[in-house]
Amino acid sequence: HVQLVESGGGSVQVGGSLRLSCVASDDTIGRYCMGWFRQIPDKEREGVAGLYIGGGDTYYTDSVKGRFTISQDNATNTLYLQMNNLKPEDTAMYYCAASRASCTQGSWYREVRYAVWGQGTQVTVS
C-alpha cells in the first residue's frame, strides 16, 4: 500500500514561487496517473494538475495554466508541482494523489479515480 508525503508548502507573497514535493513509498509515480489537488475550507477539492507518464501527458486546470508545472523524478519516486506567479486565490491545502490507472483530459481531475492521498501541505499567498 503506497504512502504519499507532501512537503514544500508555506507562506509567500503575491507573485512569488513555491515548489511542492510528494514522495511516494514505491514506484507508483512512474506507472499510474498522479494528481495535485487543492482545497479551501467549505469548498470542494479541486484538481490542479495531473500527470500520466505512460501517456506522456500533463493536465492543468485553467486557472493555473502557464503558472504551474507538474513533473516527476522516477529515480526518487517524487512528484513535483512548481508554482510561479502565485496569486491570493491559490491559497489552499494542497494534496498529492495516486491513481491505480491511467488518466485522460476528461478524467484526471475526478477524485474518485485516485486511491491514495497524502496528508496535505498548506500554501498561503498574501
Would the pLDDT of 37 be above 90?
yes
> In angstroms, rounded to a whole number, what is the distance separating the alpha carbons of residues 54 and 126?
37
pLDDT, residue 61, reads 97
Residues 6+ apart with CB under 8 A from 40: 91, 92, 93
Would you state the torsion angle of the CA atoms of residues 22, 24, 105, 88, taken in this order, to the nearest 10 degrees?
A: -10
Q: What is the DSSP letter of 115?
A: E
Give the pLDDT confidence of 76-119 residue by residue, as tens digits. Answer: 999 999 999 999 999 999 999 999 888 889 999 999 999 999 99
